[in-house]
């Protein structure tokens, strides 16, 4: 027993031979000290730390330690669920800045090239599921009825994607 930054505890746990270290105690200070110890003293290749105070994320980033902030993640998810409830992210990247979102294509988009749905730096079609089979979109691929499309989208562009998918012909 001991704390996560005690060298004897870390060595007993085999830190000298580990490929990754994740600091997930209930205290931000404990997490940063143990993460820095793993990274700087034991040269662990992959080190992550959970933080409760998202304002500390920049400090960790400057130290080269990626962070997971449950507060930031929760706020981001709540925001997405309230404003874009029909666009449920399949996967998020970073601190939620980029998402993978799947949506059934509305009928008014049938026959259009899937590359027309891309908005540079904001929205990109990355996969289409058609009749139960997945395909990667290529130039010239046309949307078909029933297509389930996976978009890579910047979180800041969710409203734009939502408006595009909700738009009815002639409105």
pLDDT for residue 168? 47
- pLDDT, one tens digit per residue, over 113-147 is 999 899 999 999 999 999 989 999 988 899 999 89
pLDDT band (50, 70, 90) for residue 14: confident
pLDDT band at 169 (very low <50, low <70, confident <90, very high): very low
The dotted CATH code for 84-166 is: 3.30.70.1450
Sort strands 148-154 and 89-93 into parallel, antiparallel or unpaired. unpaired
Number of Cβ within a 10 Å radius of residue 114: 22
| pLDDT for position 72 | 67
pTM: 0.53
The span from the CA of 54 to the CA of 58, in Å, is 8
Q: Which residues pair with 113 in a beta bridge?
A: 142
Report the alpha-carbon distance of residue 44 to residue 65 in Å, rounded. 11
Phi, psi of 20 (to 5 degrees): -150, 150
pLDDT over 80 (residue 3): no
| pLDDT over threshold 50, residue 171 | no
Task: Report helix angle 158-166 to 70-83, nearest 10.
Answer: 20
Cβ count within 10 A of residue 60: 22
Tally of helices (H runs) and strands (E runs) in the chain: 5, 8
**Is the pLDDT reported for residue 5 higher than 50?**
yes
Give residues with Cβ within 8 angstroms of 102, minimum separation 6.
Answer: 88, 90, 129, 148, 149, 150, 151
- CA distances (Å), 105 to each of 117, 125, 145, in order? 11, 11, 8
Report, as an integer, the average pLDDT of 163-168: 72
| CATH 3.40.50.720-classified regions of the chain | 7-72
d(CA 26, CA 72): 16
Architecture of the domain whose range is 7-72: 3-Layer(aba) Sandwich (3.40)
Structure confidence at residue 165 (pLDDT): 82
pLDDT in tens, 146-156: 898 999 999 88
Mean pLDDT of all residues in 37-64? 84
Residue ranges, CATH 3.30.70.1450, the chain: 84-166
Which segments within 29-97 are labelled E, that is strand? 46-51, 67-69, 89-93
Q: Which pair of tokens denotes residue 3? A: 């704390």
The percent of residues in the chain predicted with pLDDT above 70, rounded, is 82
């Amino acid at each position: 027993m001991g704390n996560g930054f005690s060298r004897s505890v870390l060595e007993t746990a085999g830190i000298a031979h580990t490929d990754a270290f994740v600091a997930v105690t209930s205290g931000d200070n404990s997490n940063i000290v143990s993460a820095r110890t793993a990274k700087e003293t034991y040269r662990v290749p992959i080190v992550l730390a959970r933080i409760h105070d998202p304002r500390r994320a920049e400090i960790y980033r400057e130290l080269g330690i990626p962070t997971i902030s449950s507060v930031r993640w929760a706020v981001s998810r709540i925001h997405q669920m309230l404003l874009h409830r029909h666009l449920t992210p399949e996967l998020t990247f970073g601190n939620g800045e980029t998402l993978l979102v799947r949506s059934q294509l509305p009928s008014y988009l049938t026959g259009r090239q899937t590359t027309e749905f891309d908005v540079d730096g904001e929205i990109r079609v990355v996969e289409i599921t058609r009749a139960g089979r997945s395909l990667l979109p290529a130039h010239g691929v046309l949307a078909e009825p029933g297509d389930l499309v996976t978009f890579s989208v910047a979180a800041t562009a969710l409203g734009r994607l939502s408006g595009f998918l909700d738009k009815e012909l002639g409105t």
